[in-house]
Structure 1
Amino acid sequence: MLLNSQPYEQLKATPDSVFDELARLVALLFEAPIVFIALVDAQQLWVKADSGMPRPRRVARQESVCARAILQSEPTVYRDLEQQAPTLTQLPLVQAYQMRFYAAQPLQTDAGFNIGACANGAM
């Protein structure tokens, strides 16, 4: 079954204050220095909200740990990205922010498709 992504196309375009507030609350709840909410399409990751890092608006999918996180329904946790670097992923952003820890929960549509992730990271 193919995902009709049309309802989500507009979501990718711009940052959203609701997502910003959610990222801020997740950062407080988990005491995480970096939190972001991103949508992932076939080629790119679109950052919708962040807390604790300057926001790149979009990142190539192959440079995103979130692109790996959405391939499963359970949370993804990398306790040490230097030791457990995900396969098929280049990590220039992780290296730029010196992130070591990464945890993400896939964002799922009502139909059960993973379209993004709420993630946090730490140095």
Structure 2
Amino acid sequence: MNYFINTNIIPENDSGRIAKLQSLHVLNTHEENGTFKHIAAMASHMFDVPIALVNFVDKDFVITKAQIGLDNNPVIDRGISLCSLAILRSDVTVFENAREEPCLLSNPMVAGGFGLQFYAAAPLVTKDGYNIGAVCIVDKKPRTFSEADQKMLENLATIVMDDIEK
């Protein structure tokens, strides 16, 4: 795995977290057209962002199960994806201007041609406390993100987890 995030992205409980993710059987399916796709579409619309994703963080890769605004490969190296940071926290991860974040200065999503500047992600948390992925929103321009916005994004992540664990 290549690291382009200048901080440790592997949580202490990573082996248990990965085992839990794999037990949910969401990774080896085609990109979602149901609930996950609806959540991504709602997030894009609610927050007026061009890109919204439902991502799962596996051992070496981040797998996109639903997306709005991207047409590329639904798998990205874990060492590049900002979702690797989002699963380290219990609350919403927000970078209002990623180009001002020291831990992201060498990240190709930020410093490269993609031009990511804004990123917010609510972790997907299992009932037993494992952060297995995130509902993410992305923009190529800086923006603010209020506490109320964070709560709405958390609610979307809860809907995803309710659907997975039903």
* The two structures share one fold, judged by TM-score above 0.5: yes
State the shift of 1:97 in Å: 2.3
1:7 and 1:86 map into 2 onto residues whose CA distance is 32
Instruction: Report whether the alignment pairs 1:93 with 2:109.
Output: yes
Give unpaired runs (5+ residues) of structure 2: 1-12, 141-166
2:72 and 2:125 map into 1 onto residues whose CA distance is 22
Instruction: Report whether the alignment pairs 1:112 with 2:129.
Output: yes
Whichever structure has more helix as a proportion of its residues is: 2
Aligned counterparts, 1:12-31, within 5 A: 12-13=27-28, 14-18=30-34, 19-31=36-48
String of CA shifts for 1:5-41, please: whole Å, max 9, x gaps.
3323x31122111211110011111111111110001
Question: Residues 90 and 12 from structure 1, CA distance in 2 versus in 1: closer, same or farther, beyond 3 angstroms?
Answer: farther
Identical columns (%): 28
State the shift of 1:85 in Å: 4.6
Q: Is the 8 A contact 1:47 1:55 kept in 2?
A: no
Whichever structure has more strand as a proportion of its residues is: 1
Alpha-carbon RMSD across the aligned residues, in angstroms, is: 1.9
Question: Residues 96 and 21 from structure 1, CA distance in 2 versus in 1: closer, same or farther, beyond 3 angstroms?
Answer: farther
TM-score, scaled relative to structure 1: 0.87
Question: Residues 23 and 85 from structure 1, CA distance in 2 versus in 1: closer, same or farther, beyond 3 angstroms?
Answer: farther
Higher Cα radius of gyration: 2
Question: Residues 85 and 48 from structure 1, CA distance in 2 versus in 1: closer, same or farther, beyond 3 angstroms?
Answer: farther
Give unpaired runs (5+ residues) of structure 1: none
Q: Is the 8 A contact 1:68 1:86 kept in 2?
A: no
Aligned length: 121
State the shift of 1:90 in Å: 5.6
